[in-house]
Structure 1
Amino acid sequence: MSTTFGTPGAGVLQGEAPAPGAASTALAARTRGLRKTYGETVAVDNVDLDVPTGAVLGMLGPNGSGKTTTIRMLLGLVRATEGEVQLLGHSMPEGAGKALPEVGALVEGPGFHPFLSGRENLLRLAAAEPGLSGPQIAGAVGDALDRVGLTGAAHRRYRGYSLGMKQRLGLAGALLAPRRMVVLDEPTNGLDPAGTREVRRIIAELHAAGVTVLVSSHLLAEVEATCTHVAVLNAGSVVAQGELSELLESGSPSLVVSTPDGQDAVNALREKRIPSRLTPAGVRVDLSATTAPEVFAALVHAGVPVYEANRARTGLEDLFARLTQNESADASGDIGEERS
């Protein structure tokens, strides 16, 4: 998927929309002009979202940014006030009967019968799966329980499960049958570090098998470790989307230089009016007004040894903060002007 970026400092990076009428074969899901209102409250406003086939897309945003509402409209659980939704090539919610059997989803926490065991709950769920026949159900349930680490607790009643175990059972339900797409809304909610690592492993397995995964999460480190693409929502709108690697490289260009003489390197560069500073990773050099060869030349001329130099990337946390805080600051500024 090609991605275009705004001008430096704009704070908004927008994915390039496909040409009008273009086939959606490269997209597992897409929305155009998506809007959802509840009375006078705007929950989602003009969202154009692309989920490439085979990608692991992390949907990020502050609380109240519209992530879950967008997911619910994508799955046909909520009807959009305005806009277009396509899931696996089918218009939603009209095409839900054709699209949803190929989609596993865990949205806003799992809901199961409290007095049934974990296995009994999954057996009931599996019986409603169009992709599973009678003889396959018991095996599919056993495999799903084993996959999320609940085999030992499968006989226990759901009401006695911890929050993390309930989350695991919901994930097992999403993985009961073969899927083309899996949608996970905060899948690590309530999980300990070991459970979080298991979710990461499951997402990696799905990705390796060619399954498209859409993950809504507030854990930026997990998104950075597992996702190939990112969409950032703020105040109900998409403020950035595209390949994760491209988004992380879209900030101010800089170079990290590894040298045993860090302070000498900083002094030499500042003499040449090249902004630089010491960091735990090495000397970070701002390339906004210079080039990497000029940096190397300045260091060599000053007799500073250079062991290694790498293009620095913006961390996802920094990118997220820049996008969401800039938008919030703009909004706050507008409000202030109206009140004055």
Structure 2
Amino acid sequence: MTSTVDAGAAVSNEAAAPAVPLAARTRGLRKVYRGTVAVDHVDLDVPEGAVLGMLGPNGSGKTTTIRMLLGLVRPTEGEVELLGRPMPDGAAHALPDVGALVEGPGFHPFLSGRDNLLRFAAAEPRLASAAIPAAVDAALERVGLTVAARRRYKGYSLGMKQRLGLASVLLVPRRMVVLDEPTNGLDPAGTREIRRIIAELHADGVTVLVSSHLLAEVEATCTHVAVLQTGNVVAQGELTDLLESGNAALLVRTPDAELAMETLRENRIGARLTPDGVRADLTATPAPRVLEVLVRAGVAVHEAARARTGLEDLFARLTQADSSTMDDTAAEGES
């Protein structure tokens, strides 16, 4: 069942009246494997045109949820809708508009990267035979594999295999793209390329769902976030709203940092020095009171703003409880 972040209503799941059309949604989604609950009554909204990062520890239900969204696994209970079609019954209508890379691509080891991609392209229902070679070459170039296109797949590094899998997703225009750990095995340059491709898809209005354990990548690329914990959605919404809702501090920029620290502590206001200034705790003291105390003490306040919580801090707060409740091996390869 869906819960919210204690810090505010910005992270609550407004399932009854979504503000924007949804590319995908689940209601009461549940999956049980041999008595083990992998996903438990998940209500998930994926807004059209968003880049949604799905976060969660191992065993949180991310991959199982994605499988059910794509019709690869039938739910034990609940409803799934993808591009306006009920799943899995509507898979034939929805999936041609969806490109997905889930738990790594499956390619033939003794074929070249290009030949593997040609086989994938031949199975694309919306790609004419005459257009296949050009589509394959364009996809290879887009992911930076043109030079290695004629090398055998078995000689590819993990990062190159990930790139080829992404190329298979990009063979034709999509309304939605689903990527499960897309930067796995990539070096920094490859990671930047994935960021660029996701940004291009977003600019084109494509909905992107990204499952990742790399919080910095999610923060750099995503507009929305859904955090899963032990099979439940514990928070979801726009990334900026989620980060701001977790704030309980005021960042004060001042040349009188030592005086500011001394003044705040004398007034029993928690504070600490950071590279950006003095961070004052607002848990028990409102921001105007903090500023009043500083100004009266003669502290030169150059700037004051709500401190922005990092995604790592938010994620830790949401998932630190019961993080080991679910057996990582129980959910059939769940990640």
TM-score clears 0.5? yes
Match of 1:206 among 201, 204, 219: 201
Match of 2:26 among 27, 31, 35: 31
Alignment of 1:129 onto 2:124: yes
- The one-letter amino acid of 1:286's match is D
Check whether the contact 1:90–1:96 (CA below 8 A) recurs between aligned residues: yes
Kindly state the Cα deviation for residue 124 of structure 1 after the two structures are TM-superposed.
1.1
Residue in 2 that maps onto 1:15: 13
Deviates more, 1:28-37 or 1:134-143: 134-143
Check whether the contact 1:252–1:288 (CA below 8 A) recurs between aligned residues: no
Q: Deviations over 1:195-235 (max 9, x none)?
A: 11110111011011110000000000000110011011111
Match of 2:152 among 150, 157, 171: 157
Residue in 2 that maps onto 1:337: none
Tell me how far apart the structure 1 counterparts of residues 114 and 208 of structure 2 sit (CA, whole Å).
Answer: 25
Residue in 2 that maps onto 1:119: 114
Kindly state the Cα deviation for residue 161 of structure 1 after the two structures are TM-superposed.
0.8
Alignment of 1:69 onto 2:64: yes
Residue in 1 that maps onto 2:330: none
Kindly state the Cα deviation for residue 29 of structure 1 after the two structures are TM-superposed.
0.2
Tell me how far apart the structure 1 counterparts of residues 78 and 287 of structure 2 sit (CA, whole Å).
Answer: 46
Any idea what SS the aligned residue of 1:242 has?
strand
Residue in 2 that maps onto 1:325: 320
Any idea what SS the aligned residue of 1:322 has?
helix
Task: Map residues 220-239 of structure 1 onto 2, 5 A cutoff.
Answer: 220-239=215-234
- TM score, norm. by length of structure 2: 0.92
Residue in 1 that maps onto 2:178: 183
Kindly state the Cα deviation for residue 248 of structure 1 after the two structures are TM-superposed.
0.8
Match of 2:138 among 133, 136, 143: 143
Check whether the contact 2:247–2:306 (CA below 8 A) recurs between aligned residues: no
Kindly state the Cα deviation for residue 275 of structure 1 after the two structures are TM-superposed.
2.1
Check whether the contact 1:13–1:239 (CA below 8 A) recurs between aligned residues: no
- The count of residues paired between Structure 1 and Structure 2 equals 325
Change (3 A) 1:106 1:330: closer
Residue in 1 that maps onto 2:39: 44
Match of 1:55 among 50, 58, 65: 50
Check whether the contact 2:4–2:234 (CA below 8 A) recurs between aligned residues: no
Structure 1 stretches lacking a partner, 5+ long = 332-340
Kindly state the Cα deviation for residue 253 of structure 1 after the two structures are TM-superposed.
2.1
- The one-letter amino acid of 1:172's match is A
- TM score, norm. by length of structure 1: 0.90
Tell me how far apart the structure 2 counterparts of residues 190 and 300 of structure 1 sit (CA, whole Å).
Answer: 51
Deviates more, 1:151-160 or 1:123-132: 123-132
Kindly state the Cα deviation for residue 135 of structure 1 after the two structures are TM-superposed.
2.1
Tell me how far apart the structure 1 counterparts of residues 40 and 150 of structure 2 sit (CA, whole Å).
Answer: 45
Q: Deviations over 1:75-116 (max 9, x none)?
A: 001111111000000000111011000000000001011111
Change (3 A) 1:140 1:17: same
Structure 2 stretches lacking a partner, 5+ long = 327-335
Q: State, as a whole percentage, how many aligned pairs show the same letter.
A: 74
Kindly state the Cα deviation for residue 252 of structure 1 after the two structures are TM-superposed.
4.3
Residue in 1 that maps onto 2:88: 93
Tell me how far apart the structure 2 counterparts of residues 179 and 6 of structure 1 sit (CA, whole Å).
Answer: 33
Any idea what SS the aligned residue of 1:285 has?
strand
Q: Deviations over 1:271-320 (max 9, x none)?
A: 33322221222100112333333222222221211222221121111111
Residue in 2 that maps onto 1:84: 79
Q: Deviations over 1:42-70 (max 9, x none)?
A: 11111111000000000001111111111
Deviates more, 1:316-325 or 1:211-220: 316-325
Check whether the contact 2:55–2:62 (CA below 8 A) recurs between aligned residues: yes
Deviates more, 1:29-38 or 1:246-255: 246-255
Change (3 A) 1:234 1:4: closer
Any idea what SS the aligned residue of 1:29 has?
strand
Structure 1 runs of 4+ with >3 Å offset: 3-10, 327-331
Q: CA RMSD in A?
A: 2.2
Kindly state the Cα deviation for residue 329 of structure 1 after the two structures are TM-superposed.
8.4
Check whether the contact 2:7–2:247 (CA below 8 A) recurs between aligned residues: yes
Check whether the contact 1:4–1:16 (CA below 8 A) recurs between aligned residues: no
Match of 1:267 among 249, 262, 265: 262
Kindly state the Cα deviation for residue 40 of structure 1 after the two structures are TM-superposed.
1.1
Tell me how far apart the structure 2 counterparts of residues 198 and 307 of structure 1 sit (CA, whole Å).
Answer: 39
Tell me how far apart the structure 2 counterparts of residues 7 and 277 of structure 1 sit (CA, whole Å).
Answer: 23
Tell me how far apart the structure 2 counterparts of residues 60 and 5 of structure 1 sit (CA, whole Å).
Answer: 15
- The one-letter amino acid of 1:296's match is L
Match of 2:291 among 296, 302, 311: 296
Q: Deviations over 1:124-158 (max 9, x none)?
A: 11111122112221111111100100000000111
Residue in 2 that maps onto 1:311: 306
